[in-house]
Structure formats: C-alpha cells, structure tokens
Amino acid sequence: VCMDGITETDGDLQYLYDKDMKGELNMHYEATSTLSGMDEASIEKTISRAKRWQQQYGTDHIRSNTIKYFLDGSIEFGDVLSLEPFSDDPEGKTCGFAHCTLEEMTNLMVRLNRERLDLHVHCVCDGSLRLMCDACEAAQKICGDDWCIYVTVAHCEIIHPNEIHRIHQLGMFMDTTPIWSGMGSATHMERLGLERWRRLHDY
C-alpha cells in the first residue's frame, strides 16, 4: 500500500487510474486530501476533494478515504508543541506551538466521523501527540457509539510515556518512521535536552 498526501493532484490520480484500467497497477494506493487550515472553507474544500476523488478515481486498488493534516512541523525548526520548554530557550519558557487548538482538532474529528473519512496527522513532538490524544478522546465521547473512523498519528519522534498506552486505549494508530530512528541531530539534542533526546523514537 502506498500513500502520499503532499504532492497529489488530479493528474496523479488520473495516471494511476489509467494504469489500473490497463491492469498495470500492481499496488494499492490511498489518496489523501490535505487540509491546509481549520477554517470552514478549507475543511469543506478538503472533504469535497476527497469525495470527488473517490467517486472519479476510486477502484479496487485506488481509494480516497483519508484527510491529512500537518499538526506540527519539525523539532529542528521548533514549530512543534513540546510538553516542556525547549532547552535552548534562555528564559526556559518556549514550548513551541501546534497549528491548531484542541477544540479545532476535536471538532474536525467529529465532522470527519460524520463524513466517514479517516484522519492522518503529521505529529512529531510530545505536546502535539498529547493534543491528538485529548482531541480523539473528546471526539469519541461526543460521537459515542457512532464513532467509526481511523485516526493515525505519523512520525511521533518523541512520546511522553503516558501517551504510549493512551494511543492503544483510544484505538489510534501510530505510523512510525523507522529510517529516522537513531538519526537525532545535534539540533534535536540542543532543543530537547540530553534526557529527552535519549527518548527519541522510544516506542
């Protein structure tokens, strides 16, 4: 199975669809419609694109059933939400940031559950991951027995020990990146501190 979620266009899906119609697509492809912001217009556009792709290009091998969102960026650039202040902050106050609030993520999950669309989230740092767990827990309480979608957190470079079991308990999926394991840069160590740096990719 292959999934992209960054560079996909109608042209890409048309190419894959044509290959599949010729019996030349020897794989399964999960197209993801990427959400650029939490405003209503962006959400509507992203959901509509996913549904249109499924209707126009969906086959036994090609599926468009997932919304992708970048909740944070990278530890190197500091655009992640950390549970502790960054070690390279001289005032010891900066914890970075996530690209949406807990309420916005909760509302998105409730909406996607209503639309029967799964959610795949780029989530690197421990604060971002806790936000995802809190949002998933809140959304499940709102949806009750109707809850049915898959929520996947991708990368998860650093995880607070409390969240490891929450991911399982909430029925979330963690999509790790094994090739990154053991590749924590000097920037990671400076930003996280030695103790937290040692816990990178500690699944």
**CA–CA distances in Å: residue 62 to residues 16, 58, 119, 177:** 8, 5, 17, 23
Provide mean pLDDT across the span 93-115: 97
Is residue 202 within 8 Å of 179, Cβ to Cβ?
no
119-152 in b/e form (b: 16+ CB < 10 A) is bbbbbbbbbbbbbbbbbbebbbeeeeeebebebb
Residue in the block written with tokens 């992209």? 4
pLDDT beyond 80 at 5: no
SS (H, E, C) 156-195: CCCCCHHHHHHHHHCCCEEEECHHHCCCCCHHHHHHHCHH
Residue 28 has a pLDDT of 94
Residue 83 has a pLDDT of 95
| pLDDT tens-digit readout, 33-91 | 999 999 999 999 999 999 999 999 999 999 999 999 999 999 989 999 999 999 998 88
Residue 1 has a pLDDT of 57
Quickly state the pLDDT bin for 147 (edges 50, 70, 90): very high
Residue 112 has a pLDDT of 98
DSSP-assigned letter for residue 97: -
Residue 4 has a pLDDT of 63
Roughly what angle, to the nearest 10 degrees, separates helices 40-57 and 102-115? 30
Residue 198 has a pLDDT of 86
Distance CA 93, CA 77 (A): 16
Residue 186 has a pLDDT of 78
| pLDDT > 90: percent of the chain | 77
